[in-house]
Amino acid sequence: MHGTCFTRINVFFRYNEEKALAWLRMKVERLKSVLSETGVFVWDASSTNESCTKSEQLRYACGMIGDYIKDDLYKELLSSFNVSEKVEKRKSSTENSSGKRAKIEPTEDYSCMTSGAVSEKKAKLTRSQKVLDKVDKKGMKSLDSFFKPKAKK
């Protein structure tokens, strides 16, 4: 063991887009087969029929894999399957035509109601708080005096 020298071997990998795309295609095919075997219904809003087609399952599987990869690689994956990307843009009622959200302000002021209600209502004391109120506190220091710096003599 004395003469044994341990050397560290550095292994480097170079990104190959073709191999990565082939691996992603394999994953999409496997996911599509699992979707069809388990009977997962993929519904397309634009289709009128109730059956799930193979192209819809393929698009759905590509979308699931595409959630975890970069956009440019996702677009290449879609083009390798000859599947178009469906983008559904919904207009929200809170968005303006410029794309910025409108500032929403309350129509009534509720802050004036809460301040009066709190002062009028007296908090009910618990049993232990009532017992503490009855204790003779003459000659006792407050807890705050413990944390104050000591006076120099």
CA dihedral 125→126→128→132, nearest 10 degrees, is 0
Confirm if 85 and 78 have CB atoms less than 8 A apart: yes
What is the Cα–Cα distance from 22 to 28, expressed in whole angstroms?
10
Confirm if 20 and 47 have CB atoms less than 8 A apart: no
Task: Read off the tokens for 91.
Answer: 């207009």
Q: What is the pLDDT of residue 90?
A: 42
101 beta partners:
95
Q: What is the pLDDT of residue 89?
A: 44
**E strand or H helix at 15, and its extent?**
none
Domain boundaries, the chain: 17-80
What is the Cα–Cα distance from 32 to 59, expressed in whole angstroms?
9
| Single-letter amino acid code for the residue at 75 | K
Q: What is the pLDDT of residue 92?
A: 47
DSSP secondary structure string, 86-152?
Answer: P------TTB-TTSPBPPP--SS--HHHHHHHHHHSPPPPPHHHHHHHHS--TTPPPTHHHHSPPPP
Q: What is the pLDDT of residue 16?
A: 93
Q: What is the pLDDT of residue 44?
A: 60
95 beta partners:
101
What pTM did the predictor assign? 0.47
What is the chain's pLDDT, residue by residue, as a tens digit (153 residues)?
A: 566 777 888 889 899 999 999 999 999 999 999 988 888 777 665 555 555 677 888 888 999 999 999 999 999 999 999 887 765 544 444 445 555 667 777 777 777 666 555 555 567 889 988 888 888 878 888 888 888 888 776
